[in-house]
A and B are shown apart, each in its own frame.
Chain A
Amino acid sequence: MARTPIGLVGAQPDPPFEITFDGRPVPALPGQTLAAALWGAGILAWRTTRDGGRPRGAFCGIGQCYDCLATVNGEPNRRACLVPARPGDAITTQEGHGHDRLGV
């Protein structure tokens, strides 16, 4: 059997659940962040940049770079690498600014 991260640590996760990314279902394991669930499904980009409209996803993985900003359940500018996935979460590609809700 191919080695996997799950196999390496002998993980026996609680049952997976579903979230959606731009409407399509993506499985998530309880305890994963949104970014981890997306990476697990092979999705590396969930935002486009303000000027170039270029795709971005998680880069630093620890909440420092803000490249992973996503719109989560309609709320923009959430750092997907920090926010835990919850059943039914709807992530949509965030374009440009979001709405700059955090105000800096």
Chain B
Amino acid sequence: MTASASEPDDVAGPPSASEPKGSAGTVADSLPDAARRSDVSYDLVVVGAGSAGLAGAVAASELGLSVALLDSSTQPGGQFYRHPAPTLGAVRPEALHHDWSAFADLRRRLDASGVDHLTGHHVWSVAKETDGTWTAHALTGADGSADAPVRIGARALLLATGAYERQLPFPGWTLPGVVGAGGAQAMLKSGLVLPGRRIVVAGSGPLLLAVASSLASAGARVPAVVEAAGYLRYGRTPRALVTNPRKAVEALVHAAALARHRVPVRLRSAVTEVHGTDRVEAVTVSRLDRDWRPVRGTGRRIACDALAVGHGLVPQIELAVAVGCSTRALPDGTLGLALDALQESSVPGLWAAGETGGVGGAELARAEGELAGRAIAARLLGRRTGVGATAGLRRRRDRMRAFADVMSAAHAPGPGWTGWLTDDTDVCRCEEVPAGRVREAVAELGARDARTVKLLTRAGMGWCQGRMCGTAVSCLAADGATPEPPSERRPFAVPVPLAVLAALDGPLDPTPASDGPPDPIPASDGPTDPVPS
């Protein structure tokens, strides 16, 4: 389906690529040197098929744009709606999910749409071309190691890349059996497996309740949920709570599940040590003071064979940051993208939705995706699209964003958490850099930020590019002062084979399936804003 075929005559946009559906894969497969070729051009490329990306892609497509939806996974849904492959034959996938019907609805719309859902596409870079169009570069295959890297052109870009888990190190956190809380959840949702039989769930943030209740329903014993924050801070902003009743209901559903499985929740506490030689045998849980400093003499040992741990989520924004999008500091010390009222970033033509603008959950992500999809369609088609619906979406978005900020503040790590670390605790898992070396770089070599620490110690230089240790390193570098948010500047969003980079020597070839490169999108201050001013 193309914009020109499905829209009335007054559409301002030029005809777009003809019949892109299904052709991207075959074009890539048949090219002698796929890394050097552009694939089909679209009106819109969406990166990420979670709640935000799905909503954005289907909304834009329903309004007449040709859309490619790129996602690394084989199935739509992102992390929140991760679910088993069809061959696992899950009759009740919704048993592991909250609000499955919302996802079922998005999937129905996706199936009915003309969106090209390109699975196994790991986008490692996006670039704005001189003619104002965008190119997304992707590696392909389950883990990005297939031999057919591709690039896909579009007039506009929507980034819905979600978030990854924030980790704070502690002695023993590299032992097998210690897994991310989100990781345990992801492996359960997609692979129907557990990391152990007795699993302590620890860290901070509302995700812990969801993780603990799904692990328990799936048969794990959960001896404790250990939450470093108190929940009192939510009470200080009653307005955000009252106006977001669905969030309160969600929390109650999880709390009830935990009560049913007799899972105790310990607030203002943290796992400060893991015990075991080859794998987890027990953890020590300590009380924390207001600043998250462990209180001496409060350590209690809990026997377990796994620990699922995480301290909230970090927006995954490196693709946007690499092309110069502005960020905003979030109340928990992470960075999200700075976005306008219609989800456009500071770089014209690049929109973002969902956790990239700050972590706020699936419902918010859906609203933002829908809003962005409509705004992009309005811009590209040069006409207004559903003014009333857009205003409603904006109101819902603003209300849920306000709650997300409260949540973010409530679970921000206290400065005292570094008191959990001993000098030989590995901070950087990839490069095996212990806290002592980082402290030395700060105290003796004068490092004041994560970047300098990285250069002096290699912390953050390994495979994960600092995703696992970024928060910890910036806290240690700040040495008690307010840490700068860890930089999300990474040259590539995923590791890229040198051969792929070497093949990128020319400008984009004209697209094989269209009449020529698409025109750049019109300026944003025209009469295309879908919301009356």
Chain A interface (Cβ < 8 Å from any Cβ of B):
2-14, 29-33, 35-37, 39-40, 44-45, 49-52, 54-67, 69, 78-79, 81-84, 101-104
Contact = CB atoms under 8 A, between A and B. Distances in A.
Interface residues of B, number: 60
A83 B142 contact: yes
B143 interface: yes
B142 A82 contact: yes
Nearest to A30: B87
Of B84, B164, B432, most buried by chain A (CB within 10 Å of CB) is B84
Across the A-B interface, give the 6 residue pairs with the lowest CB-CB distance, nearest first.
A36-B191, A31-B85, A61-B183, A66-B463, A3-B219, A10-B91
Interface of B: 72, 74, 79, 84-93, 95-96, 142-145, 164-165, 174, 176-180, 182-188, 190-195, 217-219, 278-279, 306, 429-430, 432, 462-464, 467-468, 492, 495-499
Contact of B187 (A9, A10, A36, A84): A36
B216 to A, nearest CB: 9
A36 B180 contact: no
Of A37, A45, A56, A66, most buried by chain B (CB within 10 Å of CB) is A66
A61 B143 contact: no
A79 B145 CA distance: 10
A58 to B, nearest CB: 7
B192 A11 contact: yes
A9 B92 contact: yes
23 contacts: A5-B192, A8-B95, A8-B96, A9-B95, A31-B87, A32-B85, A32-B88, A45-B278, A45-B279, A55-B176, A56-B176, A59-B429, A61-B179, A62-B186, A63-B143, A64-B164, A64-B467, A65-B468, A66-B462, A67-B430, A79-B143, A82-B142, A103-B495
A10 B495 CA distance: 37
A100 B244 CA distance: 48
Contacts of A11: 84, 88-91, 192
Contacts of A57: 176
Contact of A31 (B88, B185, B306): B88
B221 to A, nearest CB: 10
Contacts of B87: 13-14, 29-31
A56 B178 CA distance: 10
Contact of B183 (A30, A40, A50, A59): A59
A58 B183 contact: yes
